[in-house]
Amino acid sequence: MPRKVKVHSEIDDDGDIEITVKQPTPPPSSPSTIVKGKGKKTSGSGTRTPPPTGLRQRIKSTVDEISKETEELHVRLRKKDDGHYKLLAPGTPFNEIDLSESTFFRHDGHKSKPTWKSWLFGRKFVFPAGVILGICLALWAVDLTTLPADMKDIWTTLPAALDPRDLLANLTVVEGARRALENRDFTVGESLVEQYGLQKHHPIVLIPGIVSTGLESWGTESVARPFFRKRLWGTSTMIRAVLTNKERWIQALSIDPETGLDPPGFKIRAAQGLDAASEFIQGYWIWQKIVENLATLGYDTNSMDMAAYDWRLAYYNLETRDAYFTRLKGRIETMRRHNGQKVVLCSHSLKWVESDPKENGFGGGGGAAWVEENIESWINVAGTMLGVSKAMTAFLSGEMRDTVELHPAGSWVLEKFFSRRERAKLFRRWPGSTSMWMKGGNRIWGNDSSAPDDPTNATDTHGRFFSFRHPGTSEEESSLNSWTVSPNLTLNEAGPYVLTHTPPSFQRMMESNYSVGFERDEEQLKRNDRDHTKWSNPLEVRLPEAPSMKIYCLYGHGKETERSYWYMQGEYEHDDTRSDAENEDAYCDTTDPSNGCDNSTTLRAPLDFPLSRKHWIDSVVTVKGSNPEVRSGVKFGDGDGTIPVISLGSMCVKGWNGTTRWNPAGIEVITQEYLHSPESMDLRGGAQTADHVDILGATPLNTAILKIAAGRGDLVTQQIGSEIFEYVKKQDWD
């Protein structure tokens, strides 16, 4: 017969609920029942009662035995200040259980108003606060390179001030944009395979541009050992290094101003392989889309390579220290033999490989026929052929917001953690960046009255490259006239002006490695074939004798691009380097009028103290309705957002077009311009972007590269959308 249990409950004055469970005392054992052994019963007659065999019977028997030992159980539900209950059951495993989360014990009638103390010390505050604190400590202490990709991307885009506009401007991993980009992966190649049956044909070597290649630390000195084999440029390690020890990072990334090589204690080298410039910080692709689409045609590491290099070095030292051009020459020859086809080269000067080192002291010794025998095509992707306006501001005042095109987090780091003066010093310590110095002078870029790319009905001119507003003069348009704005410097004057406001070590490096003039004498052009300082300037050197080679100029237009500037001259300030030239002369040949060396605009520091003069873009000058547009001290023109159209296209449609003094072999040049048509919901611009970096993922550019590599360059025809033909007509080429 089932046993009955009595339950009694009551609520005391404190609101506690007390529950008492009672059960009747079991009757005494019958004399006829004697326990003889464990689990066995024997009757008075000596007959044993067998134990239950079924599972239910065994469980019931066990419960009955336990019930005999427990006659009364007291349970109390204690009410807490927050209105919830805690279970008190002494002597049981359930003593002091918090029933806050149980919906059964939530009684509206017994709720009490939470106090600030209960909230502050409750789990709803302590738990989230602990999580946030833990994340902050982890981000500070943990090597970010070990974190998952998404976490690294989020971390690298966090701004110093939690301004949502900054966050959105720097955020690159947004799910919708990522999904759109992933959907474009491989699709260009797959479409061309289906449409034209394209497949791998010519081996291809990709040569990244300035600042694209990742840089690794190989130094084993104590100052460099913590970063051994870590990328100090191109990964989240760069950002962590800047945040933790900015001065050490600057030392590591700087080039010795006297030797042009590694500074003492540090050894930085370019990363190698296709991963060297596929992405800049994981999630922000550079050459990755091109690599993916080439792979759909059958390309792999036997037929495709990335010739990464240390972009900080001047070209001469690239060969001296790293044997870069020697290795590139050997790589091209190997790929040609292995694949049985000439090589397609994406972008660089070819003069070095022809030069005889015995005769000229520098060169690859390939001879005049080497390019014709080994190179099928040269694809010039958005090349800085005649220089970049933004580079001049970077050298003068460190305003390099968009000069160095890289991951938004990388540019954010440079802007947030380096002053203008620090950025200028850093840029001057990268001799390779000087290749972006503007070339051709007034012949190409205009004079003080007009410029080739001035818009119709211009109210100002890009020919006045730097215009200085006098201190105290209002920025209102009515106050800006010939009496209140001076000097107005054309490029012939602006170049020497910038140079004389840099340290002598930079001037010597510039003089011994680069040339920015305009050469029209054919005999001098022939002599320049043996002068390595001319090889980075297409206006002072001839193309190779390779009549069967083709050149493809592929670049964007239609995006607002910095072209010329309003500047302010400030006071002199203490500096650790001399910024004035020796004897008031820059390291520039003033005997040649075409060089435009005019040092009269340079004001020396008082009493020859080692001081430098402050310069900055005059951002308060905004002239509404001006033509060209003037906004925040910048005059804008047409380009790809970084390089003006004049620099991108002048050599392609004029200087090299046909048989010219700069193209004696008459190499065919095909130019394709792409109008910038970004997708509003895609942070990288989408399939039709023409931005200087994002164009590497655009469909038209990938389509052209794949056709050329697959041996169908005939499908890539001239396509001009800008006014470049009108611009070159106004330039002085004779």
Annotated active-site residue 349? The verdict is: yes
- Which residue from 645, 666, 691 is spatially nearest to 408, judged by alpha carbons? 691
DSSP state of 654: I
Distance CA 333, CA 183 (A): 36
- Which residue from 458, 592, 586, 618 is spatially nearest to 510, judged by alpha carbons? 586
Annotated active-site residue 692? The verdict is: yes
Distance CA 352, CA 529 (A): 9
Distance CA 255, CA 268 (A): 10
CA angle 11, 15, 18 (to 5 degrees): 40
Distance CA 203, CA 192 (A): 18
Distance CA 518, CA 531 (A): 15
With residue 191 as reference, give the H or E element that holds it. Answer: helix 187-196
Distance CA 490, CA 441 (A): 8
With residue 649 as reference, give the H or E element that holds it. Answer: helix 645-650
Residue 13, phi-psi category: left (phi > 0), alpha (psi -120 to 50), beta (remainder): alpha
Count of CB atoms within 10 A of residue 564's CB? Answer: 28
**Which member of 640, 682, 691, 694 is catalytic?**
640
Distance CA 76, CA 17 (A): 6
**Which member of 212, 349, 515, 722 is catalytic?**
349
Using DSSP bridges, classify how beta strands 231-233 and 85-88 pair: parallel, antiparallel or unpaired. Answer: unpaired
Distance CA 596, CA 594 (A): 5
Distance CA 289, CA 295 (A): 10
Q: Give strand pairing partners of 644.
A: 639
| C-alpha to C-alpha distances, 351 to 207, 336, 356, 530, nearest whole angstrom | 16, 19, 10, 9
**Which member of 462, 650, 692, 722 is catalytic?**
692
Three-class SS of 35-69: EEECCEEECCCCCEECCCCCHHHHHHHHHHHHHHH
| C-alpha to C-alpha distances, 365 to 350, 357, 545, 547, nearest whole angstrom | 12, 6, 15, 20
What are 478's two structure tokens? 């009515």
Asked if 519 and 540 count as a contact pair (C-beta separation under 8 A), the reply is yes
Distance CA 674, CA 651 (A): 17
Task: Name the residues annotated as catalytic.
Answer: 349, 640, 692
